[in-house]
Structure 1
């Protein structure tokens, strides 16, 4: 629940052109995702989709994309590029095309 709130606050900050604040919110979410991935809860992601309609895998991916966007807009290009490369290294070819198109559309 806290991670969901941080994503919403990050999106509001991005919309309000408060990029550094958005970076903080999305970084909190991404750090939480690292914790959850190491816990047994990540084994239940499919069950969350069935029971509650929560697609946590794509939700974490969206949080990382938004974090990268916030870094870019805040002028932290090194961090944005590093995060982008990290995401590209961990996904399949179909998702790579989608991710590339998403970032290309940011301008």
Structure 2
């Protein structure tokens, strides 16, 4: 291939595909949020002795409390599955925005 020949731009997706993509992102965000909220509210953490140990400093107890809360919530499928779908929607959003910027430059 000759390096002097101009590259042909890729065909742009139709407006229907753009709208469908953004609707899917909105559905991923909007439909998963109530499930994540309910799973987080219904979560009761197990007793952890390190969180009430008076030998641990206040800061260490707070950091451990946050750590165990995050691990506990993410290890439950009732929260983890909607969370992964929500994050996937975020990735789709940034991909769509990146493609929209490319189509404006062409």
Structure with higher Rg: it is 2
TM-score of the aligned structures, taking structure 2 as reference length: 0.34
Bigger helix share: 1
